[in-house]
């Protein structure tokens, strides 16, 4: 995942859900964008008016992870931990998990969850995507 000078990739948004920061990654993440994301998340944690309870990084839209992105994810978790926030990786595809293992990246400090709802539950939050109950068919 390298930077392309002709392209001007958009930064990755860091959304606040109460005291949780949610980062959703989609497609290829160029090196410069990944580095900017690391700075943005760290800055948001440090400058938050309320203590940040955790960071959820949704990888469900990522098909390929290289060693650089793996290192950036580990560094985001390390920075968050130093600033008293937990980090949870959510929605990792099996191919991404296999690649991380093959690269020898253990991602210390990161907890994983199958999806964002479960990641929020791991952080003790339940206000994720509450879905309204569906009316029973035939009623």
Cβ-based neighbour number of residue 30 at 10 Å: 18
Amino acid 10: pLDDT: 83
C-alpha span between 103 and 18 (Å, rounded): 35
The answer to whether residues 80 and 113 touch, using CB atoms and an 8 Å cutoff, is: no
- According to DSSP, residue 124 is labeled T
Query: What integer best gives the mean pLDDT of the chain?
Result: 85
For range 101-111, the mean pLDDT: 84
SS3 state of residue 58: strand
pLDDT tens by residue, 61-77: 998 889 999 999 999 99
Helix (H) or strand (E) holding 100: helix 94-102
Amino acid 132: pLDDT: 44
Helix (H) or strand (E) holding 88: strand 86-90
Of 121, 11, 10, the closest CA to residue 56 belongs to 121
C-alpha span between 59 and 110 (Å, rounded): 13
Sheet bearing 14-17, strands edge to edge:
14-17, 20-26, 54-61, 86-90, 110-113
Give the architecture-level CATH label for domain 14-122: 2-Layer Sandwich (3.30)
pLDDT tens by residue, 80-90: 999 999 999 99
- Angle of CA points 114, 101, 103, to nearest 5°: 130
């Amino acid at each position: 995942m390298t930077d392309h000078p002709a392209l001007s990739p958009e930064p990755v948004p860091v959304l606040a859900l109460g005291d949780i920061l949610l980062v959703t990654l989609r497609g290829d993440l160029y090196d410069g964008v990944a580095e900017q994301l690391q700075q943005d998340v760290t800055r948001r944690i440090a400058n938050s008016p309320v203590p940040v309870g955790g960071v959820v990084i949704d990888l469900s839209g990522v098909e390929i992870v290289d060693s650089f992105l793996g290192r950036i994810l580990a560094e985001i978790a390390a920075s968050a931990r130093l600033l008293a926030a937990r980090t949870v990786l959510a929605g990792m595809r099996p191919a991404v998990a296999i690649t991380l293992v093959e690269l020898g990246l253990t991602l210390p400090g990161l907890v994983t969850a199958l999806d964002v709802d479960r990641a929020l539950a791991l952080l003790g939050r339940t206000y994720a995507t509450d879905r309204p109950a569906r009316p029973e068919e035939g009623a």
